[in-house]
C-alpha cells in the first residue's frame, strides 16, 4: 500500500520529500484506529474532531444505510428531500434561537466562504457596498481563497498573498486588552467600513487550541451589531458539544448572525457543511430581483446520505449516554490538569469541555523535527495525537473509555 501511495498520491499538509512516511490504516472502530500490521492507536483527536461518536458508529451506519436504499443524490436547486428537512428541524432546534435558515455546502472552508459571501452581499444588496472583512490574528477558517484570506496562520500561504480578499485583523481580546482593541476596531471601521467579522468562538483550534473568555469577546460583538457588521461564528471545530455547551456561541450573550458548521456535523461519516443565518440576513437576499439571491452552489449540496448522517449525529449528541460521557471526559481532563500543576516543563494547561491543551515550555517550530519526534513517540505508545508546534492537545471522541483516556494521559506524561 505504501509503495502505490508514494507512486500515485499527493497528501495534504505534507512535504513529501522530507516526510515520505504515511501510516496505512485498515479500519477503525469506536476510539480505535487499526493499521495494516494489526497495531492499534487511540484516536486522541477524533480524526480532526469529526468522529465524535466513535468511528463506524453502528447507529450512524444504520441510518446512512437505510437512506442509501431510498435516495442517494438529487440536485438541491428546485428540489428538496426528507433528510434535509429533518436535519434542518433538528439543527435549528439546538442552535441559538436567532438562527432561522440553513444553507448547505461541502466542508468547513466552504461553510466560512459562504458566511463571508453572505456578509459581503448583504451590504451589496442594501446598496451600501462594504469590502473589508474583520478577523482575528492566528485565526483559521479554511483553505479556499476567502477562508484562507481570513485565516491569520498564513506562514505557508505566501504564494497566494497577493490574491487575498480584503481582511483586517485584531488580536484575540482579553478582559485587560479589550478596551484598546475596541479603539483599534473603531479606527479600522472608520477607515474602511467592515462588512463582516469572522471568529472562532472561545477556542481557536488550528492556532493550537488557544482559549479566550466570552466576556472579552462580548464588547466586540456588541460593536459589530451596533454597526451592522455581520458576525460570523466559525463553529466548524467548536460545534456539537466540544466546549461544554452544544455550541460555543451558547456561552456568549450576543448571538452571531451566521454560524458555520462542519467536521462533527456528519459524525465523521461523510463530508458536508452548513452555514445557518438569522432572518434579517435571509431577508436581505429575498427579492423580486433574481440577482439579489445567493448564487453559491456545490454539486453535492445537501446530499441525502450526509444529511442522514448529520441527523443521526444530533440524535446521539442529545442522548443521555453522550451527555454523560462529555462530562466524564471533562472531569478527567480537570484531574489530569491538576496532576500536572507542578510540572516545570509545561505552561498554560487549559481545559474547555472535552478539549485539553498545554504548551511545552521548549519552543518548537509548527512542523519542525521536535514535533515529528513527539508524533512518533505517541504513535509508538499506541496513541494518535497531532502536536501543533509546542502545543499538545487532546480532543477525544465522546466514546473514549476511561482506560483509553488514561493511556493518552500517560503517553503525554512520559514526554514531559
Ligand atoms: C477545519 C476547520 C475549517 C476548515 O474546514 P475544512 O473542512 O477542512 O475545509 C474551518 N474553520 C475551522 C475553525 C476549522 O477547524
- Give the pLDDT confidence score for residue 369 in this predicted structure: 78
For residues 204 and 234, is the Cβ–Cβ distance under 8 A? Answer: no
Cα separation values, 250 from 75, 102, 260, Å:
33, 18, 14
Backbone phi, psi, residue 111, to 5° = -60, -40
Tell me which of 49-63, 92-106, 144-158, 312-326 is least confident: 144-158
210 pocket-lining for ligand 1 (C-beta < 6 Å): no
Ligand 1 centroid distance, CA of 411 (Å): 27
Asked if residue 234 has its Cβ within 6 Å of ligand 1, the reply is yes
Q: Residue 33: is it exposed, middle or buried by C-beta count within 10 angstroms (0-12/13-18/19+)?
A: buried
How confident is the model at residue 372, as a pLDDT?
85
Residue 365: pLDDT over 80: no
Find out whether the beta carbon of 395 lies less than 6 Å from any atom of ligand 1: no
CA dihedral 395, 396, 402, 407 (to 10 degrees): -80
> Which pLDDT band, with edges at 50, 70 and 90, does 234 fall under?
very high
Q: Provide the phi-psi class of 240: left if phi over 0, else alpha when psi is between -120 and 50, else beta.
A: left
pLDDT tens digits along 277-332: 999 999 999 999 999 999 999 999 999 999 999 999 999 999 999 999 999 999 99
Strands 32-35 and 25-29: antiparallel
In the structure grid, which three cell numbers stand for residue 371, read together? 514535533
Read off the pLDDT of each residue in 363-384 and give the average, rounded to a whole number: 85
User: pLDDT tens-digit profile of 114-128?
Assistant: 999 999 999 999 999
Q: How far is the CA of 228 from the centre of ligand 1 (A)?
A: 25
Q: Which domains does the chain have, with CATH numbers?
A: 2-57+320-415 (3.90.1150.10), 61-317 (3.40.640.10)
The verdict on the CB of residue 262 being under 6 Å from ligand 1 is yes
pLDDT exceeds cutoff 80 at 154: no
Ligand 1 atom nearest to 204, measured from its CA: 13
CA–CA dist 243, 388 (Å, integer): 19
Mean pLDDT of the chain: 96
265: left (phi over 0), alpha (psi -120 to 50) or beta: alpha
Q: Write down the residue that cell numbers 514535533 correspond to.
A: 371
205 Cβ closer than 6 Å to some ligand 1 atom = yes
Partnered with residue 35 across adjacent β-strands are 25
Whether 361 shows a pLDDT value over 80: the answer reads yes
Beta strand residue intervals within 228-287, DSSP E: 230-234, 258-261, 273-278
pLDDT at residue 54 tops 80: yes
| Residue 366 clears pLDDT 70, i.e. is over it | no
| Ligand 1 contacts CB of residue 217 (under 6 A) | no
**Contacts (Cβ under 8 Å, ≥6 apart) of 314:** 87, 90, 91, 94
% of the chain with per-residue pLDDT over 90: 93
- Going by pLDDT thresholds of 50, 70 and 90, the confidence category of residue 97 is very high
Long-range Cβ contacts of 63-71 (<8 Å, 24+ apart): 63/308, 63/309, 63/311, 63/312, 64/269, 64/270, 64/305, 64/308, 64/309, 64/312, 66/308, 67/304, 67/305, 67/307, 67/308, 68/305, 70/304, 71/304
* C-beta 109 within 6 A of ligand 1: yes
Residue to mutate, 206, 268, 355, ligand 1, most ligand atoms under 8 Å from C-beta: 206
Measured from the CA of 107, which atom of ligand 1 is nearest?
7
Mean pLDDT of the region 52-72: 98
Can you list the alpha helix ranges (DSSP code H) found in 354-398?
A: 369-380
∠ CA(161), CA(50), CA(1), 5° rounding?
Answer: 85
> Which residues are 105's β-sheet partners?
273
How far does residue 209's CA lie from ligand 1's centre (Å)? 13
Give the burial string for 281-293 (b: 16+ CB within 10 Å, else e). Answer: bbebbeeeeeeee
Q: Pairing relation of β-strands 258-261 and 273-278?
A: antiparallel
Residue 295 Cα to chain centre, angstroms = 24
Residue 367 banded pLDDT, cuts 50, 70, 90: low
**pLDDT for residue 307:** 98
Does the C-beta of 238 come closer than 6 Å to ligand 1? no
Tell me what the mean pLDDT of segment 68-95 comes to. Answer: 98
pTM of the model: 0.97
Q: How far is the CA of 138 from the centre of ligand 1 (A)?
A: 14
> What percent of the chain stands above pLDDT 70?
99
- Pocket of ligand 1 contains residue 107 by CB under 6 Å: yes
What would the mean pLDDT of 17-31 be, rounded to a whole number? Answer: 95
Secondary structure of residue 199 in the 3-state scheme:
strand
Q: Give the model's pLDDT for residue 201.
A: 98
Q: Let me know: does 235 contact 260? Beta carbons within 8 Å.
A: yes
Residue from 135, 262, 395 to probe ligand 1 pocket by mutation (most atoms less than 8 Å from CB):
262
What would the pLDDT profile of 27-47 be if each residue is shown by its tens digit? Answer: 999 999 999 999 999 999 999
Q: Which atom of ligand 1 is nearest to the CA of 110?
A: 9
Q: Which three cell numbers stand for residue 193?
A: 467600513
Determine whether the shortest distance from the Cβ of 303 to ligand 1 is under 6 A.
no
Amino acid at each position: 500500500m505504501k509503495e502505490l501511495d508514494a507512486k500515485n498520491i499527493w497528501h495534504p499538509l505534507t512535504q513529501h520529500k522530507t516526510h515520505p512516511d504515511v501510516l496505512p490504516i485498515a479500519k477503525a472502530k469506536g476510539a480505535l484506529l487499526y493499521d495494516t500490521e494489526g497495531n492499534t492507536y487511540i484516536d486522541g483527536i477524533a480524526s480532526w474532531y469529526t468522529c465524535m461518536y466513535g468511528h463506524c458508529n453502528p447507529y450512524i451506519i444504520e441510518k446512512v444505510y437505510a437512506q442509501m436504499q431510498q435516495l442517494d443524490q438529487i440536485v438541491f436547486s428546485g428540489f428538496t428531500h426528507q433528510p434535509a428537512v429533518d436535519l434542518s428541524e433538528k439543527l435549528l432546534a439546538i442552535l441559538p434561537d436567532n438562527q432561522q435558515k440553513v444553507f448547505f455546502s461541502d466542508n468547513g472552508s466552504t461553510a466560512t466562504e459562504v458566511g463571508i459571501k453572505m456578509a459581503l452581499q448583504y451590504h451589496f444588496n442594501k446598496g451600501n457596498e462594504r469590502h473589508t472583512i474583520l478577523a482575528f490574528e492566528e485565526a483559521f477558517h479554511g483553505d479556499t481563497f476567502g477562508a484562507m484570506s481570513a485565516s491569520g496562520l498564513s506562514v505557508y500561504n505566501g504564494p497566494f498573498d497577493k490574491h487575498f480578499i480584503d481582511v483586517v485583523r485584531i488580536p484575540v481580546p482579553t478582559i485587560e486588552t479589550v478596551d484598546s482593541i475596541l479603539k483599534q476596531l473603531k479606527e479600522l471601521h472608520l477607515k474602511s467600513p467592515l462588512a463582516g467579522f469572522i471568529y472562532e468562538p472561545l477556542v481557536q483550534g488550528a492556532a493550537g487550541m488557544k482559549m479566550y473568555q466570552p466576556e472579552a469577546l462580548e464588547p466586540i460583538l456588541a460593536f459589530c451589531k451596533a454597526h451592522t457588521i455581520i458576525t460570523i461564528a466559525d463553529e466548524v471545530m467548536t460545534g456539537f458539544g466540544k466546549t461544554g455547551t452544544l455550541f460555543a456561541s451558547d456561552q456568549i450573550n450576543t448571538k452571531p448572525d451566521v454560524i458555520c458548521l462542519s467536521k462533527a456535523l456528519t459524525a465523521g461519516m461523510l463530508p458536508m457543511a452548513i452555514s445557518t443565518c438569522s432572518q434579517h440576513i435571509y431577508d436581505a437576499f429575498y427579492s423580486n430581483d433574481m440577482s439579489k439571491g445567493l448564487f453559491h452552489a456545490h454539486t453535492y449540496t445537501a446530499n441525502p446520505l450526509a444529511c442522514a448522517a448529520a441527523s443521526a449525529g444530533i440524535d446521539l449528541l442529545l442522548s443521555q449516554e453522550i451527555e454523560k460521557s462529555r462530562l466524564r471526559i471533562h472531569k478527567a481532563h480537570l484531574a489530569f490538569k491538576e496532576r500536572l500543576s507542578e510540572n516545570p516543563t509545561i505552561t498554560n494547561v487549559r481545559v474547555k469541555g472535552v478539549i485539553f491543551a498545554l504548551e511545552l515550555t521548549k519552543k518548537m517550530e509548527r512542523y519542525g523535527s521536535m514535533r515529528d519526534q513527539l508524533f512518533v513517540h505517541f504513535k509508538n505508545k499506541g496513541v494518535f495525537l497531532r502536536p501543533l508546534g509546542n502545543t499538545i492537545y487532546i480532543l477525544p471522541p465522546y466514546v473514549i473509555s476511561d482506560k483509553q483516556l488514561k493511556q493518552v494521559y500517560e503517553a503525554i506524561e512520559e514526554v514531559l
